């Protein structure tokens, strides 16, 4: 048994959950937020048998795209009368960040 946590982008989450559910997986969807961009993302939790891990990962790969985001760094403290706007920083987000952990399931 494995426990899978997949951090995905909002834009991909609904299609991914639908695809996983169609394949018979039970999924829990949590609203989460990335520490770096401070933007909302979605964390999916699944508990699956070992041979199913690759099926889940393939489904995630199929539905999650890489996207480019631009982050504006804080401007430096300007000297009097001078202003140098910092160049936006380009960041690649996704497709997905997936963690696979050994697990035991107990349903109470």
Please, what sign has the CA dihedral across residues 15, 18, 23, 24? Answer: positive
Q: Which is nearer to ligand 2BA, 72 or 78 (CB)?
A: 72
SS3 state at 98: strand
For 91, phi and psi rounded to 5 degrees? Answer: -130, 135
Which of 30, 37, 78, 101 is in the footprint of ligand 2BA by CB under 6 A?
37
The distance of closest approach from Cβ of residue 92 to ligand 2BA in the complex, given in angstroms and rounded to an integer, is 5
Q: How far apart are CA 12 and CA 94, in angstroms?
A: 10
- For 19, the enclosing helix (H) or strand (E) is helix 10-22
100 is an interface residue for ligand 2BA by CB under 6 A: no
Site string for ligand 2BA, 44-83 (x = CB under 6 A): ----------------------------------------
Please, what sign has the CA dihedral across residues 28, 29, 32, 37? Answer: positive
Q: Which is nearer to ligand 2BA, 35 or 81 (CB)?
A: 35
Binding positions for ligand 2BA, 80-99, rule CB under 6 A:
91-94, 97
**What are the structure tokens assigned to 42, written together?**
């979605």
Write out the residues near ligand 2BA by the rule CB under 6 A: 7, 34-37, 39, 41, 91-94, 97
């Amino acid at each position: 048994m494995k426990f899978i946590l997949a951090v995905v982008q909002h834009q991909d989450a609904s299609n991914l959950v639908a695809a996983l559910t169609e394949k018979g997986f039970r999924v829990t969807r949590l609203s989460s937020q990335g520490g770096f961009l401070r933007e909302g993302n979605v964390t999916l939790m699944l508990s699956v048998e070992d041979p199913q891990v690759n099926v889940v990962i393939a489904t995630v790969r199929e539905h999650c795209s890489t996207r480019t985001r631009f982050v504006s760094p804080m401007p430096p403290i300007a000297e009097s009368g001078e202003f140098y706007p910092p160049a936006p920083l380009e960041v690649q987000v996704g497709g997905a960040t997936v963690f696979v952990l050994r697990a035991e399931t107990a349903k109470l």
